[in-house]
């Protein structure tokens, strides 16, 4: 067993579950390491506490002298919990989190030292921004960037470091992170939804967008992962023949959680509790060694921060349990990939879920208003929604047999479809008393009963209504939730603003009653958004043809999809709501196009290296063994040796053919890569990598995977799918 593969497999034989300690009650430790409301009440003055709460609830600014008091309380709290350093924790456009640690330490003139952390250090820092993606907003030599405290997301202690969630902007004020546009989008949807909610309840003064994400992931033994250069460098397998047994029997889904994995989950959940991440659900997913966890719903900004923190936490805890966690959307071919379903809704400060039906016709009219406006928003901006979840990794997942297609549509179930069909029949203009009675008693009033018994689920829908929320299923598992959530909240905000203008015009101009005006506008929206509603199977040519007739986009690759991000329509949307300027929109487009190119470039280099330095030499080595066998048979049987060596000679020939095609494919792929690298235009370069370089991946992989079936298992160097997926 000379190969690294067998050493890695042998190492896994000795694995045992890593012991973990859990609290008796999770409620006792929840948020223990978070500077939350309880901690602030203990460590802040009354004025400081009220200032922070006003910033959270009303968006008011915190005065600098108050910030000094807050920083003092935050420092004392964190030092009491063992913190030695602090950092501004932010989310640059790399997709990862970023931090620079500074100690609570200052020297004094007399040679003494003190722990120091002032308001200025809390509110603003100046990290070097030169190496973060900026999309041409600024020159590399202009290194200054600013991080600014976001008080709506509480500070927390991770290890011995106080982490302060912040936004990240350039010297000239443009957003260089995911959080800044998200906060602006959330403010927009708050204002727009509050204005519409007041039609139904004058006491509503604030609407929060809520998010509950579901994080899917794979766990692979760390020794096995390290034996695969593609997993180590790209986070996925670039070659490897399917295991004879995969997920066909559905015996992993919701099955008993393996002991090592369960201890990893228990450890992770304990750390999540301390950090205030309200994880609740854990289970096996469909593919072997694939799992999922999900939290309780939270305000969207906090939920996004918690998901980013969780992913970082998972990597670190996985190492302690001798695992590597894979977030890639498609780490293994021919088994399910991983998504991050974003469950989204709107909730008022009065405790009402605006996408949940109520006990009265008026509450159900409120539900229909927000429900139909959301459908209309998705219909109007389906290309932008597709762009918001575009990535090199998600391209492998969208349209595969377990995931939504690249065509954006909304599933609402047969019962709600019938409700909308009834509403579509509403008479134009003022409703008669009979019509109002029929609507409210026979249609609107029955919605709670309908949804109570509505068990429709559609796994192939990218955007499905699931009872009291919309589930955006097409988001990829590696994604920062802020990207799709910024888009979703922005388009809904725009739609609600337009809706209110139309309703008010009917009330004032046509002298209609409020209910009549709302029903009239909703009726037109139902007609307008019919094309986005789809209740069938999202796979195959039939739906693609139907979607084309409806005028829906079908962008199967990231470069195609991303173009919607710089359309006049998108720029007008973001600029009109004050979420992003044209410069910021175009910069993000360039960053995402460049990231796509770099990921395909890296994967191409890795694949070429593995194929030429691992697969081909091993195939030749086995071929030489066969040649020696044939020569031995010839020495024994003379001219009759062909009767006994026919199969060996056919194997030698097949191996030679596969080697030649692999080598040819790599050479041609490199030539295309060289051509693409000469292209200066970021967009054209991305399309070149997509259309001219990437197709060689499957060609090279096909022949490598065929060799895996031909070459002696004892000398095959790469850990196989059966070992990666079924080692527990």
Structure tokens at 595: 């990231």
Q: Which range is most confident: 450-454, 464-468, 561-565? A: 561-565
Residue 670: pLDDT above 60? yes
Beta bridge partners of 103: 85
**Which residues, including other chains, have CB under 8 Å from residue 528's CB and lie 6 or more apart?**
376, 379
Determine the length of the chain. 728
Half-sphere exposure for 493 (CA within 13 Å, toward CB): 27
Determine the pLDDT at residue 141: 46
- Tell me the CATH number of domain 186-580, given options 3.40.50.800, 3.10.20.30, 3.30.590.10, 3.40.50.720: 3.30.590.10
Average pLDDT of the residues in 372-378: 98
- Sign of the torsion angle spanned by Cα atoms 284, 285, 291, 292: negative
Supply the pTM of this predicted model: 0.94
Which pLDDT tens digit goes with each residue over 619-637?
999 999 999 999 998 898 8
Q: What is the pLDDT of residue 1?
A: 40
Q: From CA 409, how far away is CA 534, in angstroms rounded?
A: 6
Q: How do strand 85-89 and strand 161-170 relate by DSSP bridges?
A: parallel
Name the residue with tokens 């999202």. 538
Tokens coding 205: 């003064």
| Residue 145 reports pLDDT greater than 90 | no
Let me know: does 280 contact 297? Beta carbons within 8 Å.
no
Structure tokens at 599: 């990921």
Tell me the pLDDT tens digit for each residue of 149-174: 999 999 999 999 999 999 998 877 88
Q: Is the pLDDT reported for residue 283 higher than 60?
A: yes
CB 360 within 8 A of CB 194: no
Measure the N-to-C terminal CA separation of the chain; round to a whole number of Å.
Answer: 21
Write the pLDDT tens digit of every residue in 298-339: 999 999 999 999 999 999 999 999 999 999 999 999 999 999
160 phi and psi, to 5 degrees?
-115, 25
Largest CA distance in the chain: 105
Note whether 301 and 183 are within 8 A (CB): yes
* Among the listed residues 155, 149, 166, 24, the one whose alpha carbon sits nearest the alpha carbon of residue 81: 155
Q: How far is residue 95's CA from residue 724's CA, in Å, rounded to a whole number?
A: 26
Element (H, E) at 299: strand 298-299
SS3 459: coil
CA distances from 534 to 124, 455, 466, 552 (A): 48, 16, 14, 11
**Which has the closest alpha carbon to 708: 601, 575, 614?**
614
Domain ranges for the chain: 186-580, 595-725
Extract long-range pairs of 248-257: CB within 8 Å, 24+ residues apart: 250/286, 252/284, 252/285, 252/286, 252/287, 252/288, 252/289, 252/290, 253/284, 253/285, 253/286, 254/283, 254/284, 255/284, 256/284, 257/282, 257/283, 257/284, 257/291
For the stretch 504-543, pLDDT in tens is: 999 998 889 999 999 999 999 999 999 999 988 777 788 8
Angle between helices 414-424 and 514-528 (to 10 degrees): 120
Task: State the CB neighbour count (10 A cutoff) for residue 365.
Answer: 23
d(CA 307, CA 509): 47
Q: How far apart are CA 389 and CA 194, in angstroms?
A: 28
Q: Which one-letter DSSP state was computed for residue 443? A: I
Question: For 584-607, what is each residue's pLDDT tens digit?
Answer: 999 999 999 999 999 999 999 999
Q: How far apart are CA 292 and CA 285, in angstroms?
A: 6
Question: Which H or E run includes 215?
Answer: strand 207-221
The correct CATH number of 595-725 out of 2.30.30.100, 3.40.50.300, 3.50.50.60, 1.20.120.1560 is 1.20.120.1560
Whether the CA torsion 507, 512, 516, 520 is positive or negative: it is negative
pLDDT in tens, 387-426: 999 999 999 998 766 678 899 999 998 889 989 998 998 8
Q: Choose from 272-276, 456-460, 724-728 the range with maximum mean pLDDT.
A: 272-276
Q: Distance (Å, rounded) from C-alpha 415 to C-alpha 357?
A: 14
Return d(Cα 298, Cα 536) in angstroms, integer: 31
- 101 and 91 Cβ atoms separated by less than 8 Å: no
CB count, 10 Å around CB of 525?
A: 24
Residue with tokens 């499905």: 464
Structure tokens at 194: 């509050």
Q: Under a CB-based contact definition with an 8 Å cutoff, are residues 437 and 514 in contact?
A: no
Instruction: Write the DSSP string, 644-695.
Output: HHHHHHHHHHHHHHHHHHHHHHHHHHHHHHHHHHT---HHHHHHHIIIIITH
Token reading at 699 = 């060609």
Tell me the C-alpha distance between 669 and 491, whole Å: 40
What is the Cα 225 distance to its own chain's centre?
23
What burial class does residue 424 get, using C-beta atoms within 10 Å of its C-beta: 0-12 exposed, 13-18 middle, 19+ buried? middle
What pLDDT, on a 0 to 100 scale, did the predictor assign at position 347?
97
Q: Evaluate whether 547 touches 554 at the Cβ level (below 8 Å).
A: yes
pLDDT digits over 534-590, tens only?
Answer: 988 777 788 899 999 999 999 999 999 999 999 999 999 999 999 999 999 999 999
- To the nearest 10°, the Cα dihedral for 653, 658, 661, 667? -120
Same fold, 186-580 and 595-725: no
Query: Within a 10 A sphere around the Cβ of 162, how many other Cβ atoms?
Result: 27
Using CA atoms, how far apart are residues 692 and 90, in angstroms rounded to an integer?
A: 36
């Amino acid at each position: 067993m000379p190969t690294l593969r067998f050493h890695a497999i042998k190492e896994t034989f000795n694995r045992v579950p890593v012991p973990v300690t859990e609290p008796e009650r999770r409620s006792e430790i929840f948020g223990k390491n978070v500077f939350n409301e309880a901690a602030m009440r203990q460590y802040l003055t009354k004025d400081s506490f009220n200032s922070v709460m006003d910033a959270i609830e009303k968006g008011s600014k915190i005065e600098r002298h108050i910030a000094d008091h807050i920083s003092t309380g935050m420092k004392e709290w964190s030092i009491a919990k063992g913190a030695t350093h602090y950092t501004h924790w932010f989310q640059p456009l790399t997709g990862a989190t970023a931090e620079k640690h500074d100690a609570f330490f200052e020297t004094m003139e007399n040679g003494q030292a003190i722990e120091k952390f002032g308001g200025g250090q809390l509110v603003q820092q100046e990290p070097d921004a030169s190496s973060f993606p900026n999309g041409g907003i600024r020159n590399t030599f202009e290194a200054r960037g600013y991080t600014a405290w976001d008080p709506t997301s509480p500070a927390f202690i991770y290890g011995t470091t106080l982490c302060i969630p912040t936004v990240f902007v350039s010297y000239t004020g443009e957003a260089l992170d995911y959080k800044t546009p998200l906060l602006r989008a959330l403010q927009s949807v708050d204002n727009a939804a509050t204005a519409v909610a007041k039609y139904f309840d004058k006491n509503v003064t604030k609407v929060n967008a809520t998010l509950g994400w579901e994080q899917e992931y794979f766990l692979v033994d760390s020794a096995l992962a390290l034996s695969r250069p593609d997993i180590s460098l790209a986070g996925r397998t670039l070659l490897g023949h399917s295991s004879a047994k995969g997920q066909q029997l559905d015996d992993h889904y919701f099955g008993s959680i393996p002991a090592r994995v369960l201890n990893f989950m228990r450890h992770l959940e304990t750390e999540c509790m301390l950090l205030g991440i309200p994880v609740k659900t854990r289970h096996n997913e469909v593919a072997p060694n694939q799992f999922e966890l999900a939290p309780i719903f939270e305000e969207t900004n906090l939920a996004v921060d918690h998901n980013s923190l969780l992913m970082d936490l998972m990597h670190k805890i996985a190492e302690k349990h001798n695992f590597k966690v894979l977030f890639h959307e498609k780490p293994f071919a021919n088994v399910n990939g991983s998504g991050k379903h974003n469950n989204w809704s709107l909730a008022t400060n009065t405790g009402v879920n605006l996408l949940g039906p109520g006990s009265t016709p008026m509450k159900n009219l409120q539900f229909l208003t927000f429900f139909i406006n959301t459908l209309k928003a998705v219909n109007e901006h389906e290309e932008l929604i597709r762009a918001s979840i575009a990535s090199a990794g998600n391209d492998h997942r969208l349209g595969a047999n377990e995931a939504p297609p690249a065509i954006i549509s909304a599933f609402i179930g047969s019962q709600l479809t019938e409700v909308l069909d009834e509403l579509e029949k509403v008479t134009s203009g003022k409703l008669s008393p009979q019509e109002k009675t029929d609507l409210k008693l026979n249609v609107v009033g029955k919605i709670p009963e309908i949804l109570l018994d509505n068990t429709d689920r559609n796994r192939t829908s990218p955007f499905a209504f699931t009872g009291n929320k919309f589930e955006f299923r097409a988001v990829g598992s590696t994604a920062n939730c802020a990207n799709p959530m910024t888009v979703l909240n922005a388009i809904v905000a725009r739609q609600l603003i337009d809706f209110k203008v139309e309703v008010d015009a009917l009330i004032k101009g046509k002298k209609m009653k409020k209910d009549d005006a709302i029903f009239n506008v909703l009726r037109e929206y139902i007609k307008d958004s019919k094309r986005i509603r789809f209740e069938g199977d999202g796979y195959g040519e039939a739906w693609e043809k139907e979607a084309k007739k409806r005028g829906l986009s079908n962008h199967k690759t990231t470069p195609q999809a991303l173009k919607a991000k710089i359309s006049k329509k998108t720029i007008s949307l973001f600029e009109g709501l004050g979420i992003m300027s044209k410069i910021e929109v175009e910069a993000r487009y360039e960053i995402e196009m460049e990231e796509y190119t770099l990921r395909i470039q890296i994967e191409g280099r890795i694949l070429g290296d593995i194929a030429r330095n691992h697969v081909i030499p091993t195939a030749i080595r086995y071929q030489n063994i066969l040649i020696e066998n044939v020569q031995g048979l010839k020495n024994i049987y003379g001219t009759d040796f062909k009767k006994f060596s026919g199969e060996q000679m056919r194997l030698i020939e097949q191996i030679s053919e596969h080697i030649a095609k692999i080598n040819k494919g790599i050479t041609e792929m490199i030539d295309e890569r060289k051509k693409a690298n000469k292209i200066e235009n970021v967009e054209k370069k991305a399309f070149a990598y997509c259309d001219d370089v990437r197709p060689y991946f499957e060609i090279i992989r096909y022949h490598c995977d065929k060799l895996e079936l031909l070459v002696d298992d004892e000398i095959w160097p790469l850990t196989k799918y059966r070992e990666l997926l079924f080692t527990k």
